Amino acid sequence: MQFVEFDEKTGSIISITNKFDKNKLSVEIDKSIADGFIKGTEQTSQWKVLPDKTNVKKYKVVKIVKNTNEEFLNKNVFPIKQFKEIQKEKNVFQIIQRESNWFGYADIDQETANFYTSRDGYFGHEKIVYVTEHNDSRKYLGKFDIDFTKFFEGSEFIIDFNNGECCDLYIASGNDEFVYVREQ
């Protein structure tokens, strides 16, 4: 039998073992997956342990598939509200710009984390953020992808984008609350 120890809040895999330890949060996995982790043909960062929505007392190990099928021409692309400082509210996905450095952050409560992590096909997606010149959405400056799962890790993470100018952001996600924080 093979087990993975995991972080209950983020679903990140911490370790792989063949011994069950009742003092650690772990779940049994297929031997083929464990062998992949050990041999290096699978990366633990590409897998998450999520609550099994068919049984609230169980978890399942799921490979996170990155899906970036959103298009800028999508009529469901929404502007992201802009603020000058980090928002204190919970459950707000914040895209932070400090000069030309970009970061992501969210303070997610457990109920909201459970909601997102239990939705099949949603949690592993990347969010695409479209960037235009400030106050002129006709001047497209580029786009960047955000691994949505990073918002659930409880700390700031780096977003790979290089722009030091004030700009406007858009995202094809009207249901999730995203904000753009431009710290001066």
Encode pLDDT of 111-140 as tens digits. 888 888 777 666 667 888 999 999 888 888
Rg, C-alpha atoms of the chain: 18
Q: How many domains does the chain have?
A: 2
* CA–CA separation, 100 and 7 (whole Å): 32
In a domain, 146, yes or no: yes
In a domain, 68, yes or no: no
pLDDT tens sequence across 36-80 = 888 888 888 888 888 777 766 688 888 876 544 444 445 678 899
Which domain, by its residues, includes 98? 78-183
Same domain as 127, residue 54? no
Same domain as 18, residue 41? yes
Q: Of 157, 171, 146, give the one whose Cα is nearest residue 105.
A: 157
